[in-house]
Amino acid sequence: MKEIIKKLKNKYIIASGIALIVVTFTFSIILLDNNKVVTTSNANIELSSKKIGWGIKRNDNHEQPDLGKVNKQIIDEAKGIAMGNRESKKVYLTFDEGYEAGNTEKILEVLKQNNVPAAFFITAHYVNTSPELVQKMIEGGHIIGNHF
């Protein structure tokens, strides 16, 4: 009986130690400074690692949604595209690829047959589980974006 109690105490001490390490690590990550400036060689702009909210403000009058001043400025400086020109009649195809449900191969095939580029927003899990499909997206000339 004393042996069982001793083993249980040891397991409790080990579990408590692991929990303490996890909590300490979590708070360390939370308290990291998010205002560092990072310079990239990809473009002649400075990017900040400061977190900003992303989203759009929908309009009731059938106008394009508002991206917000900060988001619009970041996109413009990076020469990115967030929204098309409202005078131009174009459709942008985007696909959220958080997981592979068996449809991506057919989607890529149809896009290739019709010479249509698209944007695929993929997760790290998707990259790890379906690298051959990601390669086909790249080879097909599609845009690959990060899906959080």
When pLDDT is cut at 50, 70 and 90, the band that residue 38 belongs to is very low
Share of the chain above pLDDT 90, in %: 21
Q: Which of 33-47, 62-76, 104-118 has the highest mean pLDDT?
A: 104-118
pLDDT average, residue stretch 33-51:
58
In angstroms, the first-to-last Cα distance of the chain is 51
pLDDT average, residue stretch 12-39:
60
pLDDT average, residue stretch 69-87:
80
Q: Model confidence over 95-129: pLDDT tens digits?
A: 988 777 889 999 999 999 999 999 999 988 888 88
